[in-house]
């Protein structure tokens, strides 16, 4: 089931998001998210969706404006994070498709994905859902003492 996120989802989200922050280059940030950080994100975003099964939160997807200013108001950048239990089961696909529909319904035109070059699964996932690579910024992020590329992929909604 896909539904709107709520504050009570924060502990589950922190439990699967923070290991990705801490242990991988899926995100370049080394700063783990507190439950309060996650609640603020849920409350502050136009759309924040979660996938739930049997009462367990399996993942989330959300977006925010790609860049500041009114000229970018119709371009959104998304974040999608899944728990290990959700991977390979179509949960990410369902979440992203629901997020794209919500963005369309709100009049948005473009969805952007900023993906670590060290995340080949994320690149393949987005390509399978119709996202095209539009930019690769070499050595833009730094984590674990190494430089990492940032790949921008986009989809016209």
Task: Kindly state the DSSP code that residue 78 receives in the 8-state scheme.
Answer: E
What is the band of 156 on the pLDDT scale with cuts at 50, 70, 90?
very high
Partners of 51 in beta bridges = 2, 59
Summarised one tens digit per residue, pLDDT across range 59-93 is: 999 999 999 999 999 999 999 999 999 999 999 99
Of all residues in the chain, the percent with pLDDT exceeding 70 is 100
Q: How far apart are CA 17 and CA 33, in angstroms?
A: 8
Domains of the chain: 2-156 (3.40.630.30)
Q: What is the pLDDT of residue 2?
A: 98
**Taking the model in full, what pTM does it have?**
0.95
């Amino acid at each position: 089931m896909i539904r709107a996120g709520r504050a009570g989802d924060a502990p589950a989200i922190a439990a699967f998001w923070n290991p990705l922050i801490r242990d991988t280059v899926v995100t370049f940030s080394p700063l783990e998210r507190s439950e309060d950080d996650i609640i603020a994100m849920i409350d502050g975003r136009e759309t924040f969706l979660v996938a739930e099964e049997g009462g367990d939160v399996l993942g989330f997807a959300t977006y925010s404006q790609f860049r500041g200013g009114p000229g970018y108001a119709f371009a959104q950048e998304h974040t999608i994070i899944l728990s290990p239990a959700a991977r390979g089961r179509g949960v990410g696909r369902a979440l992203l498709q629901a997020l794209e529909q919500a963005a369309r319904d709100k009049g948005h035109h473009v969805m952007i994905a900023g993906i670590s070059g060290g995340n080949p699964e994320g690149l393949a996932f987005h390509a399978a859902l119709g996202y095209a690579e539009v930019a690769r910024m070499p050595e833009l992020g730094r984590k674990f003492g190494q430089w990492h590329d940032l790949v921008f992929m986009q989809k016209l909604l």
